[in-house]
Amino acid sequence: MALDPEALAASQKSEEILGDNPSPALAEEARVYALSGRRADALRTLDQLQALSGHAQVSKFVLATVYAALGDKDQTFARLNQAFDERAFMLGFLKVDPELDPLRTDPRFQELLRKMNLQ
């Protein structure tokens, strides 16, 4: 899949607007890179996002969606379980979020739904 320049520009503009905590925009930028096959750029942006987590709120659910876009199911489920432990608001969208569609057949996804009483 080719890099969508409009998607990348929108996520970069969001970073400017969000100022103090650009984590949602950085996560979307990492996802755009990952889904465009630019793994190195996605990992570089993910590193920035994780560095930001040292002094700003970074949603484990959002990190999970980045790892899902990278195809790293183990890291995706690790972050989803952390989000569950933290009672992350976004986890309420687990059952319907299309970013997580590749995980739906994994038994760990079904287990997480069961733990949340969403099966």
Query: Domain limits at 108?
Result: 5-115
Which of the given ranges, 24-28, 48-52, 56-60, 76-80, has the highest pLDDT on average? 76-80
29-67 pLDDT, tens digit each? 899 999 999 999 999 999 998 888 877 788 899 999 999
Number of domains in the chain: 1
What pLDDT score does 2 carry?
A: 65
Distances in whole angstroms, Cα of residue 95 to Cα of each of 3, 98, 110, 112, 117:
27, 9, 10, 10, 11
Residues sharing a CB contact under 8 Å with residue 33, sequence separation 6 or more, in sequence order: 3, 8, 39, 41, 42, 45
Contact yes or no for 76/84 (Cβ under 8 A): no
The whole-angstrom separation of Cα 104 and Cα 19 is: 34
